[in-house]
Structure 1
Amino acid sequence: MARSEMPSRPEGTSAEMLFHLGMMYCLGHEVEQDYVAAHKWFNIAALRGSAEARHYRCEISREMTANQIAEAQRQARAWISIH
């Protein structure tokens, strides 16, 4: 996991920071490329108002299976429920 994946104050985590996490996983920059993780972070960022995150989430969804998307959504819900 990226060190920045665990913000010290998750409730204050900005949509921009969450979008950045999504981009890191989408591109495999400083972390192993992982579309499930990218989709999760894009989903959370989109819920916090990021139009860019909505766009990229849609784009990577085209490269993912239905099971991968469902897993990403499950992970996003789990993260939101504890933060």
Structure 2
Amino acid sequence: MARMEMNAVPASLVIPAEVSAEAYYELGLMHASGRAGAVDLVKAQMWFNVAFARGCARAAVHRQELALEMNRDEIASALREARAFLTRH
């Protein structure tokens, strides 16, 4: 059976248009914990930003905790990615 890396698939192809804020929050948890492969704090922060923008208040807590472990460039990158995602979806 072929194995596919999820990072190789754009989120727009995996995530349906009408996804709940909780689903984005779960994506953040997956990237923060390494359940989606290697731990990726920028991706986790990005998904927590999207979840918060979509109304998930719990995402704000995790977003804040991650920011303590990230540098300014990483946080800025996560914000850019979240904004880009939100403008497309």
TM-score, scaled relative to structure 1: 0.89
CA distance in 2, matches of 1:64, 1:34: 11
State the percentage of identical aligned residues.
Answer: 39
Cα shift readout 1:23-67 (whole Å, capped 9, x = no counterpart): 000000132110000000000000111111010000000000000
Query: Any gaps of 5 or more consecutive residues in structure 2?
Result: 1-6
CA distance in 2, matches of 1:38, 1:30: 10
Is the contact between residue 2 and residue 31 of structure 1 (CA under 8 Å) also seen in structure 2? no
- Confirm whether residue 54 of structure 1 aligns to residue 60 of structure 2: yes
CA distance in 2, matches of 1:2, 1:48: 25
Structure 1 runs, 4 residues or longer, greater than 6 Å off: none
- Confirm whether residue 73 of structure 1 aligns to residue 86 of structure 2: no
Is the contact between residue 18 and residue 41 of structure 1 (CA under 8 Å) also seen in structure 2? yes
- Alignment correspondent of 2:26: 20
CA distance in 2, matches of 1:20, 1:14: 10
Over the aligned positions, Cα root-mean-square deviation in angstroms equals 1.7
Number of equivalenced pairs:
81
Query: Any gaps of 5 or more consecutive residues in structure 1?
Result: none
SS of 1:32's equivalent? coil
TM-score, scaled relative to structure 2: 0.84
